[in-house]
Amino acid sequence: MKLTIPEREIMQPGHLACQGCGASMAMRYALKIFGRDSVLTIPACCWAVIDGPFPYTAVNVPLFHTAFETAAVMASGIKAGLDVQGEKSTNVIAWAGDGGTFDIGIQAISGAAERNDDITYIVYDNEAYMNTGIQRSSATPHGAWTTTTPIKHYKIGAKKNMVEIMSAHRIPYAATASVAYPEDLCKKLEKAKNIRGFKFIHILAPCPTGWKSDPKYTVKLAKLAVQTNIFPIYEIENGLKYTQNKKVKQRKPITEYFKYQGRFKHLKKEEVEFIQKSIDRENEILLKKF
Amino acid sequence: MLIKFRTDKKGVKISGAKDMPPMPASLGLMNWNKTSSWRNLKPIIDYEKCIDCFICWKFCPEPAIKIVDERPVIDYDFCKGCMLCAEECPKDAIATEVEGK
């Protein structure tokens, strides 16, 4: 028996995630690496619900529910408290969705990055406020349908480039990862675990409910996002050293990625061409940095 | 299920993050919540076709696929029927059955 990721399971079944949830996969891999000796802080996001009603929990590690904007601050505070007690080995993880990171929590995460607190900030990005009913966030890609950007007024404007924003703080480690490549994701989490200072990991977690896709295509979509260059996988050390983790030899057309999702069904041909052009341009800019 | 605290040889509690209960005043895990009633489709592993690559185990979001005697086994108490395992299986060894037929 040859396993490519650790066998231990910290997260337990029985949680309340939808069928084929990418966020629960991301948590499973993270806890496999970080183990029982870790503390989670979770703001309002899908995981606040997935974890279960109050006296019960699915993650099997200490967990703090925080206000929407304070995941990073709370993690900093817990880390400071543990330092005073002399608990140096405990991993403190701030676990937030894209809303709590890209929009509401950005000042808290920027502050924690500036102080270079020894915490790991993981954002699972499902590209909208899925928990409250699929409202647009600044992680929603151009052209996507959400309940606040209906098909007549679909979202205009590209997704915020959060990894670049974080690497501009010159933090020791920032990376993007995808649930479709667990080996790569586990390697990055392991690396983040062994670095002291502020670590930021951005995980793309497809959401069948919000993306209007079949639950069975979760991994396929996460893979296609990398293969079409819409979500490149790379890591940045100390804000300067870029490493490409998944090289895409022949990028697939973006229509491959769109055809499995209901949220892009309304897009006309010209719009798709525009999106394709902007992806290629962004990728050219990124490739120069490696 | 209450979490037991670790003690040292003299019976003194060792405190630390890994000895804390999962939540303050936690009553335990979500294991009582059998999510099998969510399921419309049922995955069934054909062990003759299975090559033990554990890709289904790797991608199961629950995780409802366990490793028993070095083979993947689906725990039908928790499987929600997303059929991700059947889609990702390289040998098409996981068949789909409609629940309740």
Confidence of residue A143 (pLDDT cuts 50, 70, 90): very high
pLDDT at residue B93 greater than cutoff 90: yes
Q: Do A90 and B17 touch (CB under 8 A)?
A: yes
Q: For residue A223, is it within any domain?
A: yes
pLDDT at residue A125 greater than cutoff 90: yes
Q: For residue A254, is it within any domain?
A: yes
pLDDT at residue A147 greater than cutoff 50: yes
* Domain of residue A88, residue span: 22-287
The letter for the amino acid at A84 is: V
> How confident is the model at residue B1, as a pLDDT?
41
Q: Do A1 and B34 touch (CB under 8 A)?
A: no
pLDDT in tens, B34-66: 999 999 999 999 999 999 999 999 999 989 999
Report the alpha-carbon distance of residue B78 to residue B63 in Å, rounded: 8
Q: How many domains does chain A have?
A: 1
Tell me how far CA of residue A180 lies from CA of A23, A86, A233, A246, in angstroms. 12, 38, 11, 12
The answer, for A15 touching chain B at a CB cutoff of 8 Å, is yes
Residues 6+ apart with CB under 8 A from A15: A24, A50, A51, A52, A58, B30, B33, B62
The answer, for B87 touching chain A at a CB cutoff of 8 Å, is yes
The answer, for B90 touching chain A at a CB cutoff of 8 Å, is no
> How confident is the model at residue A53, as a pLDDT?
86
Shortest distance between the Cα of B99 and any Cα of chain A, in A, equals 15
Q: How many contacts (CB atoms, under 8 Å) link A and B?
A: 121
Q: Do A182 and B58 touch (CB under 8 A)?
A: yes
Q: For residue A158, is it within any domain?
A: yes
* C-alpha torsion sign, points A219, A225, A227, A228: positive
Closest Cβ opposite residue B63 in set A9, A19, A37? A9
The answer, for B43 touching chain A at a CB cutoff of 8 Å, is no
> How confident is the model at residue B8, as a pLDDT?
67
Question: Mean pLDDT over residues A272-276, rounded?
Answer: 95
How do beta strands A234-237 and A173-178 pair?
antiparallel
> How confident is the model at residue B6, as a pLDDT?
63
Q: Which of residues 172-201 of A touch B (CB under 8 A)?
A: 182
The answer, for A22 touching chain B at a CB cutoff of 8 Å, is yes
The answer, for A90 touching chain B at a CB cutoff of 8 Å, is yes
ipTM of the complex: 0.89
Shortest distance between the Cα of A84 and any Cα of chain B, in A, equals 12
Q: For residue A115, is it within any domain?
A: yes
Q: Considering chain B, what is the average pLDDT of its residues?
A: 83
Q: Do B67 and A7 touch (CB under 8 A)?
A: yes
Instruction: Indicate which CATH number applies to the domain containing A257.
Output: 3.40.50.970
> How confident is the model at residue B25, as a pLDDT?
57
* A62 closest CA partner among B83, B58, B18: B18
Question: Mean pLDDT over residues A239-263, rounded?
Answer: 93
Shortest distance between the Cα of B30 and any Cα of chain A, in A, equals 5
Report the alpha-carbon distance of residue A178 to residue A3 in Å, rounded: 19
Q: For residue A1, is it within any domain?
A: no
Q: For residue A17, is it within any domain?
A: no
Report the alpha-carbon distance of residue A181 to residue A161 in Å, rounded: 21
Q: Do A25 and B29 touch (CB under 8 A)?
A: no
Looking up tokens 């999962």, which residue turns up?
Answer: B22
pLDDT in tens, A162-207: 999 999 999 999 999 999 999 999 999 999 999 999 999 999 999 9
> How confident is the model at residue B20, as a pLDDT?
59
Q: For residue A15, is it within any domain?
A: no
Question: Mean pLDDT over residues A68-97, rounded?
Answer: 92
Domains of chain B (ranges, CATH numbers) = 5-15+27-98 (3.30.70.20)
Q: For residue A92, is it within any domain?
A: yes
Closest Cβ opposite residue B35 in set A14, A37, A56? A14
Model pTM score: 0.91
Helices A182-193 and A22-34, packing angle to 10 deg: 40
Structure tokens at A224: 């296609």
- Best mutation target, B1, B4, B29, to test chain A (most A CBs within 10 A): B29
Which residues in chain A have Cβ-Cβ distances shorter than 8 Å to B82? 19-20, 208, 215-216, 218
